[in-house]
Amino acid sequence: MTTIVDVARLAGVSVSTVSHVVNGTKPVGAETRRRVVHAIEATGYQAHGLARALRRSRTESIGLVVSDTGQEVFADMIRGVEQEARAAGFTLLLANSAEDRDLEVASIRALRERRVDGLLLAHVARSSPDLVRSIQQDGLPIVLIDRLSIPEVDQVGVENSGPMKVLVRHLIDLGHRRIALIAGDVDVPTLAERMVGYVDAFQEAQLPLDLGLMVTGRGLAPDSYAAATALLSAAHPPTAIVSASMLMSVATLQAARDRGLTVPADIAIATFDAPAYADLFTPRLTSVVQPAFQIGREGMRLLLRRIRQPDAPVRTVRLRPRIVHRESCGCPPDSTITLEEAA
Amino acid sequence: MTTIVDVARLAGVSVSTVSHVVNGTKPVGAETRRRVVHAIEATGYQAHGLARALRRSRTESIGLVVSDTGQEVFADMIRGVEQEARAAGFTLLLANSAEDRDLEVASIRALRERRVDGLLLAHVARSSPDLVRSIQQDGLPIVLIDRLSIPEVDQVGVENSGPMKVLVRHLIDLGHRRIALIAGDVDVPTLAERMVGYVDAFQEAQLPLDLGLMVTGRGLAPDSYAAATALLSAAHPPTAIVSASMLMSVATLQAARDRGLTVPADIAIATFDAPAYADLFTPRLTSVVQPAFQIGREGMRLLLRRIRQPDAPVRTVRLRPRIVHRESCGCPPDSTITLEEAA
DNA sequence: CTGTTAGCGCGTTCAT
DNA sequence: ATGAACGCGCTAACAG
């Protein structure tokens, strides 16, 4: 590889001059500059990023650790982060923690070793807050996305309880009283908040809560499918099911279909988070749709801000999801429900 | 940050000794090692990846440039790459070229500046083969994934024409004669190959080809939707439609539905590439499903091989997709079609 | 405006 | 088995 020294020699100038024309650090005479530029093109010289970063002690790269790259929501978030990072001239280092605490720790370690300028973390279910705190204390800029935790850190996620409350209230308005909730793992703050929204809706409507209709536990596809099937097979089954995340909503629809039930006639369904192309499901799912791309973008923006001004006030951003109203809840699709009406 | 010097001082040894215990480069006396290890733990020392990489002239990181992070297939590929990279102790640098040639070039440049040890490239539609050649000539290991091009480079993709031929033959066997193809951008080799499969099927069946039924052009959702709509509105419409990629298949189904047509009674549909959860569509799509995750994994494996032994023979890997047989093609789902029967 | 030079933090000969 | 010293390629502070 050709180095800055080669270029300098070829152009007949000193290395610092080359450095200055490359970085625009100091003014350089027209003729000298021409010779340098020529030499650069002749050799195809490209600065050595590592040496530069070592010297400048910043890498212009950030690390993104995601708990499950496989999920659609996260894929969209990654896109948002990537786009914003690129726009700012930053390179993205991606790591998948696969919902594994140890892997999360290891990934963060690897990224820090690479001296990323900042960290974006969508952390795993039960990761310790101390992990984040220690990173922060080391002075490494960090922003939490999607899954929020301690308020002393910049973070961006969506409103959870509000939208869920609207969803449930909508079903109540339609006359449903036995509304089941497939809540998933309530140790995940996001899911806990959604459950709160469910409970709130009942309280506001002054309706009794049937704890037997609230199912918590692992939210993976098989678990959710089992949960939905159990609910639907019960002696006194619910007339509607609300689920708290995409895997669960798909599983619910599948379970209803496999039991030969018609949605929404036999069982109404509404959900938080639906897959892309859910418009082609029959019936189409009434659901809360997260602005995943924007979460990623906003997270990266927050991180850039923190990198540039380390002492900026800490901020928690909550993005507002939108509600897509379809047929699965059992009313004509031209009726609308909005989040605003809930405010 | 604590450096190797700090550790050495604290342990009362020289830096080279510390280096040796960290990297296991040379044997170190038991007592000395103990002191060093202790000092490392006390300080929380972590090697400076940049300095190390600069010295060793390798970064243990690879770059992945994808033409469209947004598409499901690519999201899965990324997962495959990431998993394999992590297992090998490599860090993944991700860039999205967003189907833009200039962006692709810029991304590659940025990654090379970071001195990645190798490059994985799912390149944009009309990228020049020279780009890849020049990278190869510079001695930077590179592997092409998904979209293959010149045979002098390691690459991994799927079989395209074979599976497409099977799909079309299946429709022919069902009695269809007017089978339309929504082919997309045939400048993309992958899509060109699929079109070949379509043509092959007709040739083998000794049936005439109606060129009016082959639609090429941009394969984005609106274009495909328009194409499908046009076909369905024609004076003498096809009885079946085959599409060459996911966006197109979804658009086709949507178009049929919007025109009030029943699938497969009014129009049969089969496709290359269906979205996850397509099982919840009505009717479920008969489709070729790509092993996207495996493509990513295999690509990374090939790259690791190339990094470790630069002179290994060049290899092109074709993975075999599987065919998921559902209702949209118009026959009972318990009948099966397999790729093997086509071989 | 241009050149000289000292590190950034580490791995690695080469002595001892 | 351990240590001293050099240099990977670059930027920046200083000198001229």
Q: In the structure, how far is the CA atom of residue B15 from the C1' atom of nucleotide C13, in angstroms?
A: 14
Which of A67, A94, A277 should we substitute to test contact with B (largest number of B Cβ atoms within 10 Å)?
A277
B93 at interface of A, judged by CB pairs closer than 8 A: yes
B105 at interface of A, judged by CB pairs closer than 8 A: no
Q: Is the pLDDT of residue A250 over 80?
A: yes
DSSP B109: H
With residues binned 3-state (H G I as helix, E B as strand, rest as coil), the percentages for chain B, rounded to 5, are 45, 15, 40
The mean per-residue pLDDT over the stretch B74-94 comes to: 96
CA distance A2 to B94: 26
Q: Chain B: residue nearest A47 by CA?
A: B113
* Strand, coil or helix: B20: helix
Listed as ranges, the nucleotides of chain D within 7 A of a protein C-beta are 1-5, 7-13
What is the predicted pLDDT for the residue at B125? 84
B2 at interface of A, judged by CB pairs closer than 8 A: no
Instruction: Chain A: give the shortest CA distance to residue B49, in Å.
Output: 5
Of A46, A110, A280, the CB nearest to B112: A46
CA distance B31 to A76: 52
Q: Which residues of B14-46 are buried (b: 16+ CB within 10 A; e: fewer)?
A: eeebbbbbbeeeeebeeebbebbbebbeeeebe
How much is the pTM?
0.94
Q: How confident is the model at residue B118 (pLDDT cuts 50, 70, 90)?
A: very high
Q: In the structure, how far is the CA atom of residue B55 from the C1' atom of nucleotide D7, in angstroms?
A: 9
The rounded percent of chain A whose pLDDT value lies above 70 is 97
At position B200, the amino acid (one-letter code) is D
Strands, E assignment, A46-104: 61-66, 91-96
What is the predicted pLDDT for the residue at A219? 82
Q: How confident is the model at residue A335 (pLDDT cuts 50, 70, 90)?
A: low
The mean per-residue pLDDT over the stretch A230-259 comes to: 92
A46 at interface of B, judged by CB pairs closer than 8 A: yes
Q: Is the pLDDT of residue A338 over 80?
A: no
| CB of A35 closer than 8 Å to CB of A11 | yes
Of A49, A79, A95, the CB nearest to B114: A49
φ, ψ of residue A330 to 5 degrees: the values are 100, 15
What is the predicted pLDDT for the residue at B342? 45
Closest by Cα among B193, B301, B191 to B244: B191
Structure tokens at A301: 């923006």
Return left, alpha or beta for A11; rule: phi > 0 is left, psi -120 to 50 is alpha, else beta. Answer: alpha
Give the DSSP per-residue string, B28-39.
Answer: --HHHHHHHHHH
CA distance A98 to A124: 8
Which helix (H) or strand (E) is A215 found in, with range?
strand A214-216
φ, ψ of residue A198 to 5 degrees: the values are -60, -50
Task: Say yes or no for a CB contact (<8 Å) between A48 and B59.
Answer: no
DSSP B329: T
B218 at interface of A, judged by CB pairs closer than 8 A: no
B125 at interface of A, judged by CB pairs closer than 8 A: no
**Mean pLDDT score of chain A:** 92
Q: In the structure, how far is the CA atom of residue A53 from the C1' atom of nucleotide D11, in angstroms?
A: 10
| CB of A239 closer than 8 Å to CB of A177 | yes
CA distance A28 to A253: 68
A61 at interface of B, judged by CB pairs closer than 8 A: yes
What is the predicted pLDDT for the residue at A134? 93
Task: Say yes or no for a CB contact (<8 Å) between A112 and B46.
Answer: yes
Least confident window among A59-63, A68-72, A265-269: A68-72
Using only C-alpha atoms, what is the Rg of chain B? 26
* Strand, coil or helix: A207: coil
| CB of A85 closer than 8 Å to CB of A145 | no
Ordered alpha helix ranges (H), A88-215: 101-113, 129-137, 161-173, 189-204
What is the predicted pLDDT for the residue at B333? 57
Q: How confident is the model at residue A343 (pLDDT cuts 50, 70, 90)?
A: very low
Strand D proximity: list residues 13-72 of A with CB under 7 Å: 15-16, 19, 22-23, 25, 45, 47-48, 51-52, 54-56
What is the predicted pLDDT for the residue at A342? 45
Task: Say yes or no for a CB contact (<8 Å) between A280 and B115.
Answer: no
Residues 6+ apart with CB under 8 A from A264: A283, A327, A328, A329, A330
Q: In the structure, how far is the CA atom of residue A6 from the C1' atom of nucleotide D8, in angstroms?
A: 15
Which helix (H) or strand (E) is A123 found in, with range?
none
Is nucleic acid strand C under 7 Å from B19's C-beta?
yes
Q: How confident is the model at residue B279 (pLDDT cuts 50, 70, 90)?
A: confident
Is nucleic acid strand C under 7 Å from B20's C-beta?
yes
CA distance A82 to A74: 12
Structure tokens at A218: 């692992």
Tell me the residue length of chain B.
Answer: 343
Residues 6+ apart with CB under 8 A from B100: B124
Ordered alpha helix ranges (H), chain B: 4-11, 15-23, 30-43, 49-56, 72-87, 101-113, 129-137, 161-173, 189-204, 221-233, 246-258, 292-308
Of B83, B92, B115, the CB nearest to A50: B115
Q: Is the pLDDT of residue A243 over 70?
A: yes
A215 at interface of B, judged by CB pairs closer than 8 A: no
* Strand, coil or helix: B92: strand
What is the predicted pLDDT for the residue at A269? 95
- Of the two residues A276 and B154, the one the predictor is more confident about is B154
CA distance B155 to A144: 37
Q: In the structure, how far is the CA atom of residue B3 from the C1' atom of nucleotide C11, in angstroms?
A: 14
Q: Is A161 exposed, middle or buried (0-12, 13-18, 19+ CB in 10 A)?
A: middle
The mean per-residue pLDDT over the stretch A310-329 comes to: 94
Q: In the structure, how far is the CA atom of residue A24 from the C1' atom of nucleotide C1, in angstroms?
A: 14
Q: Which residues pair with A180 in a beta bridge?
A: A241
Task: Say yes or no for a CB contact (<8 Å) between B282 and A281.
Answer: yes
A280 at interface of B, judged by CB pairs closer than 8 A: yes
Structure tokens at A86: 């690129």
| CB of B301 closer than 8 Å to CB of B318 | no
Q: Is the pLDDT of residue A201 over 60?
A: yes
Of B50, B86, B96, the CB nearest to A54: B50
Q: Is the pLDDT of residue B82 over 70?
A: yes
Contacting residues of A for B281, CB less than 8 Å apart: 277, 280-282
B42 at interface of A, judged by CB pairs closer than 8 A: no
- For A114-154, how does the pLDDT look when each residue is reduced to its tens digit (9 = 90+)? 999 999 999 998 888 899 999 999 999 999 999 988 899 99
Task: Say yes or no for a CB contact (<8 Å) between A50 and B46.
Answer: no
Closest by Cα among A77, A115, A123, A132 to A98: A123
* Residue A36: alpha-carbon gap to chain centroid: 45
